[in-house]
Structure 1
Amino acid sequence: MVTYEVKIKTGDKKRAGTDANVTLVLLGGDGKVTKPLALDNWLWNDFERGQLDVFTCQDDADIPDVTDIKLRRDTSGLFSDWYVEKIEVTNQKSGVTSVFPILRWVRPDVDLYFGKYDTYLPQSDPRPEQRNEELQRKRALYDYTEKTPGLPVQIKTLPEDEMFTSAVKFDLLLKKYMFKAEKAGQMLFGGTAWETLEDLTEVYSSLFGIPKDMKDWKSDINFGWQRLNSVNPNVIRLCTEIPEKFGVTEEMIKPFLEGLTMSQVIVNRRLFIVDLEILDGIHTADGFICPIPIALFFTDGLGQLKPLAIQLFQQKGPDNPVFLPSDPPYTWLLAKMWYNVADSNYHQAITHLGNTHLIMEGFCIAANRCLSPTHPMFKLLAPHFLFIIAINNHALNVLVSPGGWIDKTLAIGSTGVLELAKKGVRTWRMDCEGNYPEWIKSRGLFSKDGSILPTFYQRDDSLTLYEAIRNYVTKYVNLYYDSSDKLLNDEEIQNFGREVSTPKPEGGCGVLGVPFENGKFSCPDQLILVLTSVIFTSSVVHAAANFAQYDAYGFPPNYPFKLNGAPPKTTNPLKEGDILKYLMDKSTTLDTMTITKILSERGTNALGDFEVNYTYDPPAVQIVDNFRKELKEISVKIHERNKTLERKYEYLLPEEIPNSISI
């Protein structure tokens, strides 16, 4: 008689626990099989949600190394549904422990088989019928729809598995900060209207914390920093010529070029431009204006980016002046504030909502539809899809809905946000925007020696992290596809590529630039690009766009979502009192502080520290461990760099980057 110790971890999901009767059969590679082992600890409530249960079982069959298990439950009890995370079996005689990641709902009255580590390509799975039946059930649950025409596909009906605690977390955070807001409100509304710009600073330190940008918000150095290291560094590009529609002249900007000519700064790659023409024609909220600016920037001798000129609308003309740093101080300050209205609205609609949240949801749905939980590539991707469907559903129903936070606080309102997001995602390509090094090169911002924009720390950290993720994915993919034939014969991964690249009217995600040529992934490098893009976008890109929000927007004059009145049409001198008239009321200020504080909170574990462990195959586990080591090394280097900086860039420290888009 041999004793086996069986450990079963029930998942931490709603209704994951079961009252059903459970049996387990152990199988060995030599053909030995135990009798069905009834798993029940006397006078103990087994298999509760999130619980680890340990059972001691005996059987005549001595299986030194358990290679497979057969799991079965019935429908007994009040609650029979059961989600199992993991089963471990140890032969007490041999001392060998076998691990079986389940990560599934166990269907009733069906024998379900799992192999050790449960990691197979479909063509090598010993039980293809069970695998295919499971995939059919998932395809029915994860169905696409275009909820808003022109936006990426989303889930048709939210599966129960995706109804997560992230909505709960968001609501808890909302309650937490609304409580603080009530206290702030007593301070805000108990007094008179803003008398000076400094009055607003008094509500921060003890309640919400001080936004980092607040200290130096008026300066040109801060404004240049925002273009590179705040929420939206995705629109600046190298300037090689001045557009005809831009009314700036060399004579205007000559005093700010440190003795150089415009030709010299262009040749030396020190001139940069932002053109937010994409905002043209976008709906705006009643009574509000969103500029459509063009702005010019220069890298000074210290490597700092500074603004040279701002034109708030597209076509030059007498009522659309070019604002310069030499203008009266409050006039120049107001021009920068109006520019930031446009930039902040672009950021929320395209950089944040469209190009991370919505585009990545399609990949999540496709992975669940096409890849078995047993597939090694599903195990690679799954940690980076955690909560994305739920948070998107919650955000669109709460934040972007008519009358929601976006409607109340942004110049373009919820209608404009959706219009703008459509414009942005229409041109997103996996081989450009989804391939960070190529995205940087396409904008003329890449240099091996770091001479272009030397203070562009967000770019530098992103490139380093992209390479680390690409290296991780390359090793992982090559482990399972050590020949092109294995990739070509993998029907599941080929279906995944087909669904993400097929146009939306034909039933796919419609993602452009996917290297899925002639209807297939023909080599591992193509798959590596796709998987790297998904993981990088879901972690690094989203972190860069999301977690600087309170520091940028928490002090609204620094980076306003909207302003009262209309942008100035002259460069006439203004006073501080004139600036105050443009600021939103105290209620809107409080809403902005509250929501951006919530959005800046981390929702999941740090990159590489997965909430749920999907990978147990020993060679793959080693690859994951090496990835974690590389992330730690990157963190050390960023900390060392930051020691030398007066203003640190910390948003892309690996320990600060969540695995997934969860808030």
Structure 2
Amino acid sequence: MPSYTVTVATGNQWFAGTDDYIYLSLVGSAGCSEKHLLDKAFYNDFERGAVDSYDMTVDEELGEIQLVRIEKRKYWIHDDWYLKYITLKTPHGDYIEFPCYRWITAKLARDDQIHILKQHRRKELETRQKQYRWMEWNPGFPLSIDAKCHKDLPRDIQFDSEKGVDFVLNYSKAMENLFINRFMHMFQSSWNDFADFEKIFVKISNTISERVMSHWQEDLMFGYQFLNGCNPVLIRRCTKLPEKLPVTTEMVECSLERQLTLEQEVQQGNIFIVDYELLDGIDANKTDPCTHQFLAAPICLLYKNLANKIVPIAIQLNQTPGEENPIFLPSDAKYDWLLAKIWVRSSDFHIHQTITHLLCTHLVSEVFGIAMYRQLPAVHPIFKLLVAHVRFTIAINTKAREQLICEYGLFDKGLSPPTQANATGGGGHVQMVQRAMKDLTYASLCFPMAIKARGMESTEDIPYYFYRDDGLLVWEAIQTFTSEVVGIYYESDQVVEEDQELQDFVKDVYVYGMRGKKASGFPKSIKSREKLSEYLTVVIFTASAQHAAVNFGQYDWCSWIPNAPPTMRAPPPKAKGMVNIEQIVDTLPDRGRSCWHLGAVWALSQFQDNELFLGMYPEEHFIEKPVKEAMARFRKNLDAIVSVIAERNKNKKLPYYYLSPDRIPNSVAI
């Protein structure tokens, strides 16, 4: 009688092991075995981290093994079990791998010719679609997972330890690590001067944050951040001066270095603009009626000087021109100009946190993740390719909705004592996402297209845009990898078009995630291998590289409070010549909000424990040799990019490393 050796690996997560009865049966092309109880006498099977082997004899020849069926029955009390993989040694000495990596070999649906395999595939999706339901968290938002809190999520996608992503605990821990709790007893009092902010800054600083502290008032530092700070996605080349910003050559001629008019500088491509129109009319946080917070919607005009550096030349703090909305200039009084730049930096912080970071990486990646679980079975090659890139994303977003961005959450009121920590809390952040959804398009997630749409593609014209340069390298590496994987499983465009599971995945993203908006440009279906590769590159790049670029620099660039104020306590100035340093300090966040902000950006900038970085796939979902070889080439390409970035950063006072692949986590998990 044929004999098989079955090896079962249990995960290392907390509570991954089980005391339940585990039964296994084999399904082959010639028949199906009886159920076998996997049990060793006087031995505790399926402990956390264990690899257990069992000999299994069957009554008749099963043919080519197609499926391993696992059944779990309660022993004493119900417990979950995380199955990593099963390997099978056949009577002929061959080894077959069955990856699982979920709580209890890549094929397209057309490859499953046996009825029981088709049935298994269909039932898996039916079960998943009941577990992974779409929900509207707020009107106008991308749809999210239907779960009120982390513990309501399917066990497969929960964090190993919920404590690791508890925002309240993490921010409290940050306060302790940064030694800033000692300021909280006077949390509503103002600082005395700029140097006073160093009291909460000095404990944990680094090369970039210290340089920001030393040079934040300089125009060069201000301009540099639009290219390589933590929000490098807003600056665009100005092709025509907007009527709402009535700036003239006479106003800015002392900043222009080429002896040209402002209009001529525009024509030559030397003028850039950042417009915070989205903030116009957004309600400032009013959760505490005794505390006032203010927002502005600035327009900032920038200039590429003869050294090819970007510097600001004009700032208008609100959208409608007029006598009470002056255009501030570098030639103005020192503190007039400085306060205008601080207002821009504060507005930039709000757009960064809510749109660039939350909407365009977290919420978008969750959409891809939910659609993947709903429409792609575990044996589908696209599921196997993407599953590492949605790891913990749904969980971190659920936790954020539970504690951070919900009504009266940390975003609204901070830690105890309540501090009304963020000026766009109290509902402003919700309004912002609802507005920004109109501009969220598929093209805006295609990195090369997004760069080109803003007129920022020329390396000769803009040589110090490292976010662009490194991002294009990583995008190309990912696209090469996805093209290879697509080519392995789809021999023609027709096979892509006929893959109904794939089409259902793409349709789910469009209909539910993007709310069926034609203007979004998200495809309803995919009909070619080239477009499928591009789509997969968007999914992976958004979850990995784009999130890394806009998340992990938050402490570097935002920990020095005057450089990224989370709130302003006085309205924007309506006239020039009225500002002094005392007024600026009184406008900046008080001690309590400063402490909360510092703790928040520190906590948000930390990598997860045991982080998996781009190109790392320890869970071997793929067993096919061609895919493993493609993964090896992908890692080699990424290593080459790491070397290029490291070489460029040598001796740089402001190194740019957020898009170095060894610092890019696979997924949005923080």
Give the alignment's TM-score, normalised by structure 1.
Answer: 0.90
Contact 2:258 2:306 (C-alpha < 8 Å) held by counterparts: no
Single out whichever of 46-55 and 149-158 deviates more from structure 2.
Answer: 46-55
Distance 2:568 2:42 in 1: 66
Contact 1:8 1:88 (C-alpha < 8 Å) held by counterparts: yes
Distance 1:547 1:256 in 2: 33
2:151 paired with 1:143: no
2:187 paired with 1:197: no
Single out whichever of 284-293 and 378-387 deviates more from structure 2.
Answer: 284-293
Amino acid at match of 2:47: E
2:492 paired with 1:487: no
2:362 paired with 1:375: no
Which of the residues 348, 358, 365 maps onto 1:343?
A: 348
- Change in Cα spacing, 1:366 to 1:509, as seen in structure 2 (3 Å) is farther
Which of the residues 596, 603, 617 maps onto 2:624?
A: 617
Which of the residues 99, 102, 106 maps onto 1:119?
A: 106
Amino acid at match of 1:648: P
- Change in Cα spacing, 1:175 to 1:44, as seen in structure 2 (3 Å) is farther
Amino acid at match of 2:99: P
2:162 paired with 1:176: no
Distance 2:84 2:269 in 1: 54
- Change in Cα spacing, 1:33 to 1:392, as seen in structure 2 (3 Å) is closer
Deviation, 1:566, is 1.5
| Number of matched pairs | 642
Distance 2:293 2:232 in 1: 25
Deviation, 1:368, is 0.8
2:438 paired with 1:429: no
Amino acid at match of 1:463: L
Deviation, 1:167, is 4.0
Report what 2:17 is aligned to: 17
Deviation, 1:32, is 8.6
Deviation, 1:120, is 0.7
Deviation, 1:249, is 1.0
Local SS of the residue matching 1:53: strand
Deviation, 1:642, is 0.9
- Change in Cα spacing, 1:193 to 1:341, as seen in structure 2 (3 Å) is closer
Report what 2:251 is aligned to: 252
Which of the residues 421, 429, 432 maps onto 1:417?
A: 429
- Change in Cα spacing, 1:366 to 1:327, as seen in structure 2 (3 Å) is same
Superposition map of 1:237-636 within 5 A: 237-261=236-260, 262-286=262-286, 287-407=292-412, 408-430=420-442, 432-447=443-458, 450-502=459-511, 512-516=520-524, 520-572=525-577, 574-603=579-608, 604-610=611-617, 612-636=619-643
Distance 2:430 2:483 in 1: 36
Which of the residues 118, 126, 137 maps onto 1:128?
A: 118
Distance 1:227 1:324 in 2: 18
Contact 2:405 2:411 (C-alpha < 8 Å) held by counterparts: yes
Deviation, 1:325, is 1.4
Distance 2:95 2:488 in 1: 23
Deviation, 1:255, is 1.3
Distance 2:19 2:658 in 1: 45
Deviation, 1:598, is 0.5
Single out whichever of 60-69 and 452-461 deviates more from structure 2.
Answer: 60-69
Amino acid at match of 1:412: T
Deviation, 1:221, is 1.2
2:181 paired with 1:185: yes
Contact 2:440 2:520 (C-alpha < 8 Å) held by counterparts: yes
Contact 2:190 2:586 (C-alpha < 8 Å) held by counterparts: no
Local SS of the residue matching 1:306: strand
- Change in Cα spacing, 1:35 to 1:412, as seen in structure 2 (3 Å) is closer
Distance 1:230 1:551 in 2: 9
Contact 2:190 2:585 (C-alpha < 8 Å) held by counterparts: no
Gapped regions of structure 1 (runs ≥ 5): 107-117
Contact 2:614 2:661 (C-alpha < 8 Å) held by counterparts: yes
Contact 2:191 2:590 (C-alpha < 8 Å) held by counterparts: no
Local SS of the residue matching 1:54: strand
Contact 1:21 1:76 (C-alpha < 8 Å) held by counterparts: yes
Deviation, 1:76, is 3.1
Report what 1:115 is aligned to: none
Contact 1:236 1:443 (C-alpha < 8 Å) held by counterparts: yes
Contact 1:331 1:573 (C-alpha < 8 Å) held by counterparts: yes
Distance 1:514 1:104 in 2: 30
Report what 1:646 is aligned to: 653
Distance 2:81 2:602 in 1: 37
Deviation, 1:393, is 1.2
Contact 2:6 2:87 (C-alpha < 8 Å) held by counterparts: yes
Deviations 1:572-623 (A, max 9, x none): 1643333221122111111001111010111331112136332222211111
- Change in Cα spacing, 1:662 to 1:255, as seen in structure 2 (3 Å) is same
Local SS of the residue matching 1:641: helix
Deviations 1:484-526 (A, max 9, x none): 2322221111111222222679x8698921233xxx3221222
Give the alignment's TM-score, normalised by structure 2.
Answer: 0.89
Distance 2:183 2:522 in 1: 53
Local SS of the residue matching 1:497: helix
Gapped regions of structure 2 (runs ≥ 5): 287-291, 413-419
Report what 1:111 is aligned to: none
Deviations 1:401-435 (A, max 9, x none): 233332222222240101001111222111x1111
Report what 2:415 is aligned to: none
Deviations 1:200-228 (A, max 9, x none): 21333334667352232111111111111
Which of the residues 644, 655, 658 maps onto 2:662?
A: 655
Distance 1:511 1:251 in 2: 41
- Change in Cα spacing, 1:537 to 1:504, as seen in structure 2 (3 Å) is closer
Q: Percent identity?
A: 34
Local SS of the residue matching 2:445: coil
Distance 1:305 1:357 in 2: 30
Local SS of the residue matching 1:295: strand
Deviation, 1:17, is 2.7
Distance 2:54 2:427 in 1: 57
Deviation, 1:638, is 0.5
Distance 1:94 1:444 in 2: 62
Distance 1:463 1:387 in 2: 26
Single out whichever of 627-636 and 573-582 deviates more from structure 2.
Answer: 573-582
